[in-house]
Amino acid sequence: RQLEEMEFGSQFAPHEAVHLALNDELTGLPNRRAFDKALEKACVRGGAALCLMDLDRFKTVNDALGHVVGDRLLRAVAKKLVTHTRGRDFVCRLAGDEFAVILNDVQDERAASDALDRLLSSFQSRLDLGDVDLSVSLSGGIAMIAAGEDMDQAYRNADVAMHEAKKARKGGLAVHAAEGASLDEHDDLVLVKGLLTGADVPLRFDPAVDAHGAIIAQYVTVGAHGRSIDDVFATAEKFGLGSEFVAAMLKEVCEAAARRLSTPAVHIRLPGAAFGSELLTAQLVAALERSGLPAETLFLEVPQDVCRRESAEVLLAIRHLGVGLILGDWELGFGVVDLLAEGLFSAVKLGGPAVEAASRDEDSAVLVRAAVTLIAKRCAAVLASGVNSPLDATALFASGVSAIHGKAAVPRETRSTTSVSAFTSAA
Q: Each residue of 384-417: pLDDT tens digit?
A: 888 888 888 888 888 888 888 888 876 554 333 3
**How many CB atoms lie under 10 A from the CB of residue 372?**
21
Return mean pLDDT, the chain: 81
Percent of the chain whose pLDDT exceeds 70? 83
Q: What is the pLDDT of residue 225?
A: 64
Q: How far apart are CA 392 and CA 406, in angstroms?
A: 11
- Higher-confidence residue of 155 and 174: namely 155
Distance CA 219, CA 256 (A): 12
**Cβ atoms of 98 and 53 closer than 8 Å:** yes
* Res 419 pLDDT > 60: no
- φ and ψ of 170, to 5 deg: -65, 140
pLDDT at 416 (0 to 100): 39
Instruction: Average the pLDDT over 287-302 and give the result.
Output: 93
Say if CB 203 and CB 402 are below 8 A apart. no
Mind listing the pLDDT tens digit for each residue in 124-157?
A: 778 878 777 788 888 888 999 999 999 988 998 8
- Minimum mean pLDDT range among 11-20, 65-74, 257-266: 11-20
Q: Quick check: 418 pLDDT over 60? A: no
How far apart are alpha carbons 348 and 376 in whole angstroms? Answer: 10
What pTM, to 2 d.p., does this model score? 0.68
Integer Cα distance of 11 and 289 in angstroms: 52
Residues 230 and 135: their CA atoms lie apart, in Å, by 36
Report the distance separating Cα 37 and Cα 20, nearest Å: 16
Question: Do the beta carbons of residue 75 and residue 27 sit within 8 Å?
Answer: yes
CA atoms 177, 180, 182, 183: torsion sign: positive
Asked whether 74 and 63 are in contact (CB, 8 A), the reply is no
Element (H, E) at 72: helix 67-83
Task: Give the CA distances from residue 154 to residues 162, 267, 282, 369, in Å, rounded to whole numbers and listed in that order.
Answer: 12, 38, 39, 54
Residue 196 belongs to what H/E stretch?
helix 183-197
Q: Is the CB of residue 422 less than 8 Å from the CB of residue 381?
A: yes
Q: In 3-state terms, what secondary structure has residue 342? A: coil
- Sequence-ordered list of residues with C-beta below 8 angstroms from that of 188, at least 6 positions apart, any chain: 227, 231, 232, 235, 236
Angle made by CA atoms 168, 172, 174, in degrees to the nearest 5: 80
* Cα–Cα distances in angstroms (integers) from residue 350 to residues 97, 309, 328, in the given order: 43, 22, 7
CA 164 → CA 170, 175, 194, distances in Å? 10, 9, 17
- Residue 167, pLDDT score: 76
Distance CA 159, CA 99 (A): 11
